[in-house]
Amino acid sequence: MKLIHDSAPCLHLLLLAELFVHSSSRTSHTSSLCSMLKLMMAQVDRLKNLSKSFHDLSDVELLNFADMEHRLHSLPHIHHTATHLSSLKVNESLSQLYVHAQAFKLHVDWLKTAKENVSLSSHSAEGAGTHLLQLSNLLNSSLHQMSEEAPLSPPPSLPVTSTAFDVLRFSVEISERLQVFCDWSKRVLRQLQRLSHCPRH
Ligand SMILES: *[C@@H]1O[C@H](CO)[C@@H](O)[C@H](O)[C@H]1NC(C)=O
Ligand SMILES: *[C@@H]1O[C@H](CO)[C@@H](O)[C@H](O)[C@H]1NC(C)=O
Ligand SMILES: *[C@@H]1O[C@H](CO)[C@@H](O)[C@H](O)[C@H]1NC(C)=O
Ligand SMILES: *[C@@H]1O[C@H](CO)[C@@H](O)[C@H](O)[C@H]1NC(C)=O
């Protein structure tokens, strides 16, 4: 009887301690995800800026490319509906963003070489590649924190380019698709911040 009486407060303390450990590890886990999401947002902002300067065509000149068929079938298809956004799971969205960021990285690296081959400026493609790499690394770290693996995807097979005009067409296509990806990513990241109860800055 005496034993139970003595150990009761002790048990109580133990439970309290455990509760504290649990809630503080959960808090630090969440706040670390929140800071990563914020860093991802910043990468996406820079990426969007850079993707606008893959070519220096004016809006009027761009109209000539508007009807051109899209030829890079390996570029990620982004479908975003309101229902999709509202049903997002954090782990699955991070995986999907990772797969898309990787795919765009491969296309942008390819575009950089293609531009160099025809002596077009490749600075913005190179910069975009750097931001896509940083974005992928942040996504990978976040996934690892939730004990999930970053998914691997097969490398796309990309066409051989020969003329500067060809490369320009691909620049326009990748630029447009990358901007759609950036807008979509920002919406997803904002939704993930809400789901993770991240503080508004
Ligand atoms: C994007 O570009 C605009 C204009 O060039 C600039 O004002 C803005 O600060 C840039 N944003 C980022 C995140 O680099
Ligand atoms: C995401 O997490 C949920 C539960 O938290 C789990 O059921 C699901 O399998 C996970 N999805 C992936 C792709 O790992
Ligand atoms: C760039 O040129 C090299 C050498 O001619 C060629 O092997 C490569 O396929 C070209 N890359 C692209 C993306 O066109
Ligand atoms: C992802 O992150 C883990 C742990 O930080 C690391 O071991 C792994 O090499 C990274 N993978 C990639 C593809 O960057």
- Does residue 13 carry a pLDDT above 50? yes
Q: Ligand 1 pocket check: which of 43, 49, 130 to mutate, most ligand atoms within 8 Å of Cβ? A: 49
Instruction: Give 42 Cα–ligand 1 centroid separation in angstroms.
Output: 11
CA distances from 93 to 34, 66, 125, 186, 190 (A): 15, 31, 25, 12, 12
Name residue 131's amino acid.
H
pLDDT at position 10 is: 54
Nearest ligand by distance to the CA of 48: 1
- Pocket lining: 141 vs ligand 4, CB cutoff 6 Å: yes
- DSSP code per residue over 131-175: HHHHHHHHHHHHHHHTT-PPPP-PPPP-----SHHHHHHHHHHHH
- Residue nearest to ligand 2 atom 11, measured at CA: 92
Whole-number pLDDT of residue 108: 97
Q: Is any atom of ligand 2 closer than 6 Å to the C-beta of 141?
A: no
Q: Which residue has the higher pLDDT, 199 or 1?
A: 199
Residue 166 Cα to ligand 2 middle (Å): 42
Question: What is the maximum span of the chain, computed from C-alpha positions, in angstroms?
Answer: 90
Cβ atoms of residues 65 and 169 within 8 Å: yes
| Pocket lining: 49 vs ligand 1, CB cutoff 6 Å | yes
Question: Is residue 111 helix, strand or coil?
Answer: helix
Q: What is the pLDDT of residue 116?
A: 96
> How distant is the alpha carbon of residue 191 from its chain centre?
13
Q: Which domains does the chain have, with CATH numbers?
A: 2-195 (1.20.1250.10)
Query: What pLDDT is attached to residue 201?
Result: 62
Query: Is the overall model pTM greater than 0.75, yes or no?
Result: yes
pLDDT surpassing 70 at residue 8 = no
Ligand nearest to the CA of 51: 1
Shortest-distance atom of ligand 3 to CA 110: 13
| Residue 31: predicted pLDDT | 81
Contact assessment for residue 17 and residue 108, using Cβ atoms and an 8 Å cutoff: no
Q: Does the pLDDT of residue 166 top 70, yes or no?
A: yes
Predicted pLDDT at 150: 94
Residue type, 102: Q
* Inter-residue contact 147 to 94 (CB < 8 Å): no
* pLDDT grade for 4, boundaries at 50, 70 and 90: very low
Mean pLDDT across the stretch 59-70?
78
Q: Supply 86's token pair.
A: 């509202």
**Nearby residues of 90 by Cβ (< 8 Å), 6 or more positions away:** 33, 146, 192, 195, 196
> Taking Cα atoms as reference points, which of 38, 48, 39, 37 lies closest to residue 181?
48
pLDDT band at residue 27, thresholds of 50, 70 and 90? low
Asked whether residue 72 carries a pLDDT value surpassing 70, the answer given is yes
Determine the residue of 111, 160, 170 to mutate for testing ligand 3's pocket, defined as the one with the most ligand atoms within 8 A of the Cβ atom.
Answer: 160
Take residue 121 and report the two structure tokens written for it: 């400026």
Residues 6+ apart with CB under 8 A from 140: 98, 150
Nearest alpha carbon, ligand 2 atom 13: 92
Q: What is the pLDDT of residues 108-131, one digit of tens each?
A: 999 999 999 999 999 999 999 999
